[in-house]
Amino acid sequence: MYTIPSRKTLSKSLIPQLYESTQASMRERVQKATTVCLTTDCWTSRVTTSYLSVTCHFWTALSSVTDTPENLAEELLRVAREWQVDGKVVCCVSDNAANITKAMDILQFTHHPCLAHTIHLIVRDALKVKTTVDKVKAAVEYFHRTTVGAEKLKSTQCQMGMPELRPTQDCTTRWNSTCYMLRLFLESKDAMISTLAIVNTPVDALTQEEWEVAEEVCRVLEPFEQVTVEISGESYVTSSNDTPV
């Protein structure tokens, strides 16, 4: 018997009303805070529109903005003033991008670069010199690109009594995905060697030395991966794990 609201009613009436009431409630909570810490990040949509997100303890604002340092500083200050916390900011956390770092200098905010992003930059730069990683990437891309190669790898794994592990591709913005890619590749080492030797592929097989390098890279990256997972938690305050040195 319930009459479902139309799309127009939802988008033009109900959702805006809910937004306004929620925003008013959040404003009251923010006003009670004596100090606040901001976290900000820039990202680009699929239609190449740049956005700046600003998080203050328990609220988030999203703004469309041209991501120059001056514009970012102006928009970040506007959001802080809109929520009347511009005089309460004791720290602002962001990634290490040059534009947002410069914006922090303009605003003279105490700036703490994101630890997870700092670790990402360190490991990413270290991985650039590893030609072994490039070979693994090429092999993984081959198994993802060709059905014949993927089926042959699966068949070889079964024949060797190994679990059917499909190699995963890495993502340039997530360094630990490279760690996962190498780890899975190594777990199917014998099947990989056999399959690459049989199939007709332009992918270069890894030498024994390169296999050893891949194992060493995984061993070295393991502590970084553990720290990245720990500080990326969503159900707890990650700063609570900091230990003063």
Answer yes or no: is pLDDT of 218 > 60.
yes
- Tens digits of residue pLDDT in 71-123: 999 999 998 898 888 888 888 988 888 999 999 999 998 898 888 888 888 88
Greatest alpha-carbon span in the chain: 72
Who contacts 204 (Cβ-Cβ below 8 Å, separation ≥6)? Answer: 135, 138
What percent of the chain has a predicted confidence (pLDDT) above 70? 91
Q: Which residues contact 86 (CB under 8 A, 6 or more apart)?
A: 77, 80
| CATH class of the region 31-113 | alpha beta
pTM of the entire predicted model:
0.58
For tokens 């194992």, name the residue. Answer: 215
How much is the pLDDT for 237? 57
> Which residues have C-beta within 8 Å of that of residue 131, sequence separation ≥ 6?
210
Tracing tokens 């799309």 back to the chain, one arrives at 7
Q: Which residue has the higher pLDDT, 41 or 236?
A: 41
Domain ranges in the chain with CATH number 3.30.420.10: 31-113
Residue 235 has pLDDT above 80, yes or no: no
Query: What are the C-alpha distances in Å from 199 to residues 147, 154, 189?
Result: 12, 13, 16
pLDDT digits (tens, 9 = 90+) for 164-206: 888 888 777 777 788 888 888 889 889 988 888 888 777 888 8
Using alpha carbons only, what angle is made at residue 175 by residues 46 and 69, rounded to the nearest 5 degrees? 55
